[in-house]
Structure 1
Amino acid sequence: MYADLFLTLLFSVLLCKEATCATNQTFPNYFKFGVATASYQVEGAWNEDGKGENIWDHLCHTNPDFVDDRSNGDIACDSYHKYKDDVAMLKDLGVDFYRFSLSWSRLIPLGLAGSPVNQAGIDYYKNLIQELVNNNIEPLVTIFHWDLPETLQEYGGFPNPEIEEHFAYYARVVFKNFGDSVKYWLTFNEPLQTCHEGYGIGFTAPGYKSSGLAEYKCTHTLIKAHARAYHVYDEEFRTQQQGYVGIAPDTYWYEPASGSVSDQEAAERALQFTYGWFANPIFNGNYPSVMIERIDERSKLQGFASSRLPKFTDEEVEYIKGTHDFLAINAYSTLYVQAKEEEVDTAVISYDSDLNVDTFFDDSWEESASSWLRVVPWGMRKLLNWLSKTYNHPEIFITENGVSDTGGLNDDRRINYYREYLSNVLEAILDDGVNVTRYTAWSLMDNFEWARGYTEKYGLYSVNFDDPGRPRTSKASASYYSSVISSKCLVDNCE
């Protein structure tokens, strides 16, 4: 049976290279389309109007070689000064909503609970939000997108449990100042990258390498901080503001490399160690059982007095469980997963050894400009079905999806990516009954792509970073996406 499915998928992939495989069905009327950016990647003005230093400011300035092209976000797209231009682009696209993030250090320069709030930062975001509202574009706001105030990093960053208190203070400031106009909130973007890449393997700021230890402490604090912010909203603001709060983890779709039981278990384990790591406590009350059992056992074998995976108290389990109003997912690509022999050397302490699977791309899958991203549209449909089944059929927001290239206005490969991925989204909705209600393209415009700098482009609009005015120019994909939004159709003619 599995072999038949594999051959069917392979045939479909080969066929899709010659012609579009997109469905000619239309998206439901309730479905909303948007685009996304993040504060450090687009705003610039890194030290203007009272903004404090964040961990990306600090890392890029003290270790410029961390970024491929030795660039930084000091100016980026200059959205701090050009936010009206950004909204004009959004208006031209016809999007229903704009997902953007707030800069913690722009709003609270020291980041600390009880420290002064920067009125200039409040004014900037109020002006942006009002510009969106004036143009009938709904704001979907991410409270934290990787840019921790440097002061808090000097306190130990997310592995320090005190961050929960500081984040709760920050969230309260945000809800109080913007909640009358903002109805949809995301507490954290891609916490896997914040913790695993930031504190485990050092691929993102602050660039620490303490895998199997610090990333678990980071996650423990971050999940409690999310729950705290949710309860702050629920208890102090929801009655008046009538909004919704979620979190946006990310994952690949992990496809078993074969039909063997061991490969299927390995693929499920990979999903639980990535998406489930963050979602399971919020939806079900605790870390996935496979994580708890494996890390407990390995910790004992390694001579630890207690598990390297911190434990929630019974009170914390109840406090965290149910702190969601929807399920959000950032999804870009797919990996094959193969079971491995269990590690014999228990001296190896790392997240990867705790997970213990092999992952790989199929060589036939189309490449992008990013080494971690291959084009695998069918993985999106499978992932949405897994999320729906695993978390009891929640409302799902796709909060990021997109593909990179090296630049150019005639970006047909991006058009094909959006067409094929959106087709799988639509089939998941209409044919499988998955409750997906929003789709967010990454990104509105080319921007600072973290450790890759400006070498990779994800935008619907090109930005000339060599011009001090940072002019924006629409790409072919912007025209295509705009037509999809207006027609709710992916091809020339729909049913």
Structure 2
Amino acid sequence: MAFANVVALLCFLATSIFTVEGEVRRFPDTISFGVATASYQVEGAWNVSDKGENIWDRFTHTTDSIRDRSNGDVACDSYNQHRRDIEMLKELGVDYYRFSISWTRILPDGFSNRLSQDGIAYYNTLINDLLEANITPYVTIYHWDLPQRLQDLGGWANPMMADYYTDFAKVAFEAFGDRVKHWLTFNEPWVICYQGYGMIEKAPALDMSGIADYLCGHSLLKAHAKAYHLYDDVYRPTQNGRIGWTLNTNYHEAASQSPADREAAERAMQFELGWFGHPVFSSEGDYSQILKDRVNQKSSEQGYPRSRLPEFTSEEVAYLKGTCDFFGLNHYSTNFVRMPTMALKSSKVSFDDDLGVEKFVDPAWPGSEADWLKVVPWGFRNLLNWIRNSYNSPEIIVFENGFPDRDDKDDVDRINYYNGYMNALLDAMEDGCNVTAYTAWSLMDNFEWSDGYTQRYGLYHVDFNDPMRTRTPKASAMYYKSILETRTIERD
């Protein structure tokens, strides 16, 4: 069947089968829509030209930690097929495309003394082609793919990483900032530190929870602030862009209205979103008192001479505060939280032990291909309001929201997910939340980290058995396209 006929068929299916009769709601003109990817997940070309090795190259090549034992060596081959990606973006009618820069593609050794002209040229071409297509580039500077040489020096647990990262950011600002006006310093620092340094789920898989994760977070916060101030002081006056980062979190709903469970839910929010949100967005700055008190208490019980959570100086607290032009948010799901029935002292050192709450889900909530992702649209609305109330109503940009399935082109469950969550987004905006953009994850099926290719989040299906990595629109692509064209959605 010709491609145009496939698109027409899917468009018919999306509008005639998967919509529900009911009230039509309109998005305000103040909100824009996009899609997202990340370099390691889509680019491939892992050793093309002089590109250096990153921690995901090493992790996937030397361990059996990936569910299907796959890797991102080729992935979607966007390094060679970025023009097809731009065709897809035009087909969807998005306002912007969020992608990330591979650190070792432009700095092969991790350090800024040697630049890859081929790497710079690749991103220049991508950015120029996006602009020619009237699609705004949103650029993530760091999306998890640290140079392996820097990991060998301790990675984000090394305080010098803030300087190395800022050198990298400077190269990006100078190479692309004349055209890129929307920057993200980091994607999901909580995942970087909790899952990569505290656990073994993500590279570099240090498995030092309760120590390495806090060191990572402390260093990463400093790196973010240094890059922000560099852009603000040196590049913003001439480039006139904006810069922030994007934080991820589940919404943590109290299991009951008891004071103990409400305390547990707030603690969970502060340990996840607040770990990185509070130092930047709160009026007082610094880590939240809840986080500081809990880790200090547990550290003392375990015989440590000081808290395992590093401290900021008063100068560093001031330096960090306000270092975002917007609140970037990645969100997928919700869980209930309650206080354990019996609080026990523990010699076990871990982030989860410091947190000290129980999380669970309602078995009636619809599931997905990912065990952790349940479909709970009302949690999205509650989360947006939590941010509004906690951080003085900041501008919020949703940089990731999406649904994993096995490999379905007629992806009804994904359409239902988007319908529910985008309705919840509108509900939150009507509550007074200042949301200015919404980003679907993801443009296409890609390498989903430790799950490899076993979970698909894409609006476009990718045939990973085809050397050309053929992309085909799913029903959800046409559904999202119809929302962007009409700026309307059926009430959930």
Q: Same fold (TM over 0.5)?
A: yes
| CA–CA distance in structure 1, aligned partners of residues 59 and 342 of structure 2 | 36
| 8 Å Cα contact 1:52/1:108 also seen in 2 | yes
Q: Secondary structure, in 3 states, of the residue corresponding to 2:186?
A: strand
The equivalent of 2:288 in structure 1 is 288
- Counterparts of 1:88 and 1:342 in 2: how far apart (Å)? 57
Q: How far did 1:81 drift? A: 0.3
Question: Which of 155, 158, 161 is matched with 1:163 structurally?
Answer: 161
Structure 2 unmatched runs, 5+: 1-17
Per-residue deviation, residues 395-416 of structure 1 (Å, max 9, x unmatched): 0000000000001210011111
Matches within 5 A, 1:22-41: 24-41=24-41
Partner of 1:357: 357
Amino acid of the residue matched to residue 106 of structure 1? R
User: What corresponds to 2:73 in structure 1?
Assistant: 74
Q: Say which of 208, 215, 218 aligns to 2:216.
A: 218
| Residues 324-339 of structure 1 aligned to structure 2 (within 5 Å) | 324-339=324-339
Kindly provide the CA deviation profile for residues 21-78 of structure 1, in whole angstroms up to 9, marking residues without a partner as x. 9862200112100000000000000000111000000011111x11011000000000
- 1:21–1:420 CA contact under 8 A, matched in 2: no
Partners of 1:241 and 1:342 lie apart in 2 by 56
Equivalence for 2:248: 250
**Distance in 2 of aligned mates of 1:176 and 1:220:** 27
- Runs of 4+ with >6 A deviation: none
Structure 1 SS opposite 2:86: helix
Partner SS, residue 281 of structure 2 = helix
Which deviations, in whole Å up to 9, do the C-alpha atoms of 1:158-177 show, x marking residues without a partner?
01101001000000000011
State how far apart, in whole Å, the 2-side matches of 1:393 and 1:183 are.
23
- What is the aligned partner in structure 1 of residue 398 from structure 2? 398
**Is the Cα contact below 8 Å between 1:328 and 1:398 reproduced in 2?**
yes
Aligned partners of 1:342 and 1:356 also within 8 Å: no
Per the alignment, residue 485 of structure 2 pairs with 486
Verify: 1:151 aligned to 2:184, yes or no: no
Residues 135/477 of structure 1: CA separation in 2 closer, same or farther (3 Å cut)? same
Q: Which residue of 1 aligns with 2:471?
A: 472
Deviations 1:273-322 (A, max 9, x none): 00000011112320111000111111112111111000001111111111
Deviation per CA, 1:196-229: give whole Å up to 9, x if none. Answer: 0000011100111000000000000000000000
Instruction: Output the CA distance in 2 between the equivalents of 1:196 and 1:466.
Output: 33
> Is 1:443 aligned to 2:442, yes or no?
yes
Tell whether the 8 Å contact from 1:443 to 1:460 is kept in structure 2 after alignment. Answer: yes
The AA in structure 2 aligned to 1:186 is: L
- 1:114-129 map, 5 Å: 114-129=112-127
Determine the C-alpha separation between the residues in 2 that align with 1:39 and 1:301: 43
Which whole-Å CA distance do the structure 2 matches of 1:38 and 1:353 have between them?
Answer: 32
Q: Deviations over 1:143-199 (max 9, x none)?
A: 000100000000001011010010000000000111111111111101111000000
Contact 2:21 2:490 in 1 (8 A): no
Inter-partner Cα distance in structure 1 for 2:205 and 2:229: 31
Deviation at 1:365, TM superposition (A): 0.5
The residue aligned with 1:9 is: none
Amino acid at match of 1:243: G
Secondary structure of the equivalent of 2:128?
Answer: helix
Query: 3-state DSSP class of the match of 2:156?
Result: coil
Aligned equivalent of 2:269: 271
Amino acid at match of 1:173: V
CA pair 43-469 structure 1, distance change in 2 beyond 3 A: same
Equivalents in 2 of 1:179, 1:202: separation in Å? 35
**SS, match of residue 397 in structure 1:** strand
In structure 2, the residue matched to 1:369 is 369
State the distance in 2 between where 1:19 and 1:134 align: 33
Alignment check: 8 A CA contact 1:328 1:399 kept:
yes
User: Which residue is 1:455 aligned to?
Assistant: 454
Distance of aligned partners of 1:209 and 1:21 in 2 relative to their CA distance in 1, 3 Å threshold:
farther
User: Match of 2:337, SS?
Assistant: strand
CA RMSD after TM alignment: 1.5
Q: Which residue of 1 is the match for residue 387 of structure 2? A: 387
Shift of 1:361: 1.1
Contact 1:343 1:353 in 2 (8 A): no
Which secondary structure does the structure 2 equivalent of 1:66 belong to?
coil
Whether 1:261 and 2:256 are equivalent positions in the alignment is no
* SS of match in other structure, 2:481: helix
> How far apart, in 1, do the equivalents of 2:212 and 2:276 lie?
15
User: Do 2:301 and 2:345's aligned partners in 1 also have CA atoms closer than 8 Å?
Assistant: no
Match of 2:10 in 1: none
CA shift in 2, pair 1:390/1:70, >3 Å: same
Residue 48 of structure 1 corresponds to which residue in structure 2? 48
Asked whether the 8 Å contact 1:23–1:423 carries over to 2, the reply is no
Q: Could you say which residue in structure 2 is the equivalent of 1:11? A: none
Contact 2:50 2:108 in 1 (8 A): yes
Q: Is the 8 A contact 2:76 2:446 kept in 1?
A: yes
CA drift at 1:87: 0.5
Residue of structure 1 in register with 2:87 after alignment: 88
The answer to whether the Cα contact below 8 Å between 2:250 and 2:332 also exists between their aligned partners in 1 is: yes
Q: Using the aligned pairs only, state the percent identity.
A: 51
Partner SS for 1:158: helix
